[in-house]
Structure formats: structure tokens, C-alpha cells
Structure 1
Amino acid sequence: MASKQQKYAKLEAHSGYTGLWKTDLSNACIASPGFCCTSIFCSWCVSYHLRKRALHNDMTRYLCCNGDWPCSGRCGEQSCPEFCLCTEVFFCFPQSVASTRWMLQDEMRLQNTECDNCIIGTMFAAQYLACLCWIAACISGNDILNDLAILADNIADILWCSVCACMQTQHKVQMDERDTNPAVGMPYAAPLPQAMGAPPPAPAYNTYTPPAQQGFGGYPP
């Protein structure tokens, strides 16, 4: 795992980002309603599509979870990146969405708005509350607490699905802006795999230059 100093340095760098998302989470579904609906009903496919697009369709730059976990760089990414990405979005879906978000934030120096942070924090708080309700229901065996746990769980699931769909739509809208206005972004340098044994060497990501025109057609409106 990354050292505490590395984590603090990364957080400090993020605090200095001054760019803004093209649309915030509260307006993402309005900015691209068709894509938002697709993100709700086919979230894994959308996550795969957005990660590949975030990499400028260059899968030689792919690292599992973008190098954020000890397994990154040790999952056969170099030999079969498409299969590894499929595995990531299916088994580690929340992390796949978060990794794509952090990639875009690092590439375009984007900061979350206070509203975005509030929405994301509420989503996490609902998950924790549902977990606590289930623990209380299991310990007490009380039917009322069990019903309350079911209700809290359903609310948390609804929040998760809606916020995640809006988040992926926000990513799509931001990449639309990046691809039509190359000055918005800059070549992204992926992190090295985290130290755990002897990791394979990472490719030289910082030498990548995006093509002048991106052929990203066929997205939902």
C-alpha cells in the first residue's frame, strides 16, 4: 500500500486543483438524460466505456483500479487489458467508477463542488446507516428494527444507484468537453503499481499524446 506521506501528498495536490466540472452532480442528469438512464440500467458497460475513453482509447496505459490497490499491475493488464478491465468493473464496480473520476480530476485539475461533496457524503452515510440498522436488528431480533433496516437498505440502494448514474454522466459530459477542446486536458500520467513484492515495470504513460481528433461517436444523447 502507499505510504501515509504519499497519501497526504496526493490529498494536498488535490486540494490545489482549481478546475470545475462541466456540470455538477445535481445537474448531470439534465445535461445528458439519455446517458444517465443508460448508466442506471447498464452501469457496468458504462463504467468500462468511460474508463477506456478516459485512457484516450489506449489500453496499453491501463492499470487495474488505476494503480490505487496492491493488486494493480499484477493482474495481467499488459497481456489482456480489456479482459482485466471487464473483471474490474464487474467485481470492483464502485472502485472502477471512483478510479475513473480520480483520473479525470488529475488530468484536468478538477475539484468537486461543495454540493458534489455533500451528495457523495450523503450516499456514503446512508450505506453506513443501513449497515448499523442491520447490525442492531441482528443483535436484538426485534421485528421493528428489522423492518427499519430493510427500509434504510432500500433508501441507501436508491441513493447509490442514482448518485452513481449521475457521477458517470458527469464523467461523460466532462470528456465530451475534453475531446472537443483539447486545451481543457493534459496527458495523464498514471501512478506506478503500489509496492508489494516485485511489481512489473509500468509503461511510460507520460509520453502519450492524445490524437488531434477523437472518434467518440454513437453515445446516447
Structure 2
Amino acid sequence: MNQEQDARIAKWNSRMAYQRHWQVELPKTCVKRPGFCCFAAWCSVCASYSLRKQALHGDMSRYICCNGNCPCSGRMNESKCPEFCLCLEAWCCFAQSVATTRWMIQDELQVKTTKCDECIIGTMIALQYLRCVCNILSIFVGELRDTAAIIDLIADVVWCSVCACMQTQHKAELDHRDANPSSVPPPLPGMMAPGVQMIPMGAHPPAQPGYGYPPPPPPGAYGVPQPGYPYPPPAGYPQQGGYPPQGAYPPQGAYPPQGAYQPQGYGAYPAPPQPSGMQR
């Protein structure tokens, strides 16, 4: 978990170093690209689908749900039917789909969001929270029902217009990238390579043989099962069954008497003779 947090912190720090700007500012998208802006307003799900596919350079084998930013990412069998999974993401999680595409473009092209764009997007999100609070309060206070309805209408209009402008901004940036491949900057430290999505948590590749600690042996591999001690005992210690079984020792009295044993290769030397004339 610490490694994952460190990677996220490094990514956010790298995003602070972005210096490029969007090709079209958010408030001017409806003027400079009116055709796609109307398409994104009336067919927002289709626009989100096409923009994500374009952000992946048309290679759907790189697709992961929400680019690995959600707990379900990588667990939906995206590799088997990426087009269908992208349709479900754009339809069921539209807001997350638009935000994910925006982050992918910013990370690949190192584009930073201006203060004006942040203010517009923040206002849209704040209105969504306000409508939720007003709808809850209107359940208990009947006088707030009309106010909640008005806030609902304002929040819907702002939501639809801002999302359409955001997707138009994405389209202009992706078209410029595809028309000028040499303008794509190299990735900063801590960021992924362009077009390659992150691996979701829990989807790590299997360990290769020869790396890491050896697996513990099966019980009884060294005679006596030794839980927590997967290595063989030190040399010199007998294994299980190394001692002779009980009753296999020779009975008492079967050994030869003391002094009857002579080392092999040595004879019995006689006592030296006493010199004559020196008897006492």
C-alpha cells in the first residue's frame, strides 16, 4: 500500500510541473468548435466513447475501466470485450468517463488546467452537491420543494453545457496530437508512458521462478514437519529414523571382556627379560 501511495504522490507532483495549455479554452469551445459541441451536448455518451477510443490511439487492447482509477478496474474482463465495457462505462459512469479521458490527455500531453477552467468545473460540481442537499431537505420541509426544483434545473443546464464544452476541449486537443505526433512530449518521472494505462490494484503479474524466497517444502520432507522453518536442519543432526530402533542394541554380556580386544595390525609384545646377576 505504501508503494501505491508513493506512486500516486509522485504522479500528482509531476502534474504540478505541466506547462502546456489546452488548444481551445473551455469558455471558447462552443464558438471555435460549434459542431462537435452540439454533438457532445445531445449525444454525450457517444462523444465520451469516441474520445476515449481516440485517446487510446485506437488500440482497445490498452483499455481498462476508468483507466484503473476505480476498485472495479481490471476486474470486469475488459480484455475480452473492451468495446462493450467502454460502452457500459460511458453510459453508467458518464462523469467518471469524461474525467478519466481528461486526466489521460493531461498526463500524456502534459497539459495543465487554467484557473478559469477550474472555476467553471468547480461551480458545476458545487451545484450538483447543492441540488442533492436541497432535494433531501425538501422531503422534510415542504416549502423548499419549489426551490429544489429550480436548483435542479439550473444544475442540469450547467452540467450539460460544461460537460459538452469539456469534451469539445478534449476533441480539439486529441486532433492536434494526431495531426502533430512530434509534438507529444516525453513522459515526466513518475508518469506512465503515453497511451499505456496503469495496472489496477491486485492485478500484479505472477512471480517468475528464481526470484524471491523458495517455497516451503511439503510436510515431512525432512523427516519431522517443521512449521515456520522451511530449511533442512544443520549438518550433523540425525534425521528422523537415523537412530537405531529400540531393542536393536546387543544385550548385556555380549561384549568381549576388557583387555581381550587388540587393535588390528598390532601384536602382543612380551615382557622384557630380567638381567642375570641382579636378583635381590
Partner SS state of residue 175, structure 2: helix
Partner SS state of residue 72, structure 1: coil
- The corresponding residue for 2:155 is 156
CA distance in 2, matches of 1:149, 1:92: 24
After TM superposition, the structure 1 = structure 2 runs for residues 69-84 of structure 1, keeping only pairs within 5 Å, are: 69-84=70-85
1:188 aligns with 2:209: no
Letter in 2 for 1:154: L
- The corresponding residue for 1:214 is none
User: Structure 1 vs Structure 2: percent identity of aligned residues?
Assistant: 52
Which structure 1 segments of 5+ residues have no match?
202-221
Which structure 2 segments of 5+ residues have no match?
186-193, 206-280
Deviates more, 1:165-174 or 1:1-10: 1-10
Equivalent pair of 1:130/1:153 in contact (CA under 8 Å): yes
Equivalent pair of 2:57/2:195 in contact (CA under 8 Å): no
Letter in 1 for 2:139: C
Deviation at 1:194, TM superposition (A): 2.3
Deviation at 1:75, TM superposition (A): 0.9
CA distance in 2, matches of 1:176, 1:84: 24
- The corresponding residue for 2:173 is 174
Letter in 2 for 1:190: Q
Relative contact order higher in (CA < 8 Å, ≥ 6 apart) = 1
Letter in 2 for 1:178: R
Deviation at 1:29, TM superposition (A): 1.1
Partner SS state of residue 111, structure 1: coil
- The corresponding residue for 2:139 is 138
Deviates more, 1:9-18 or 1:31-40: 9-18
CA distance in 2, matches of 1:91, 1:133: 24
CA distance in 2, matches of 1:20, 1:173: 12
Equivalent pair of 1:74/1:200 in contact (CA under 8 Å): no
TM-score by length of 1: 0.84
CA distance in 1, matches of 2:99, 2:137: 30
CA distance in 2, matches of 1:200, 1:185: 29
Deviations 1:64-94 (A, max 9, x none): 0011111111111111111110111011111
CA distance in 2, matches of 1:11, 1:150: 38
Count of equivalent residues: 196
Deviation at 1:146, TM superposition (A): 0.6
- The corresponding residue for 2:274 is none
Deviations 1:169-195 (A, max 9, x none): 000000111011112225333111123
- The corresponding residue for 1:18 is 19
Equivalent pair of 1:69/1:194 in contact (CA under 8 Å): no
Normalized per residue, the structure richer in helix is: 1
Deviation at 1:135, TM superposition (A): 1.8
CA distance in 2, matches of 1:39, 1:116: 18
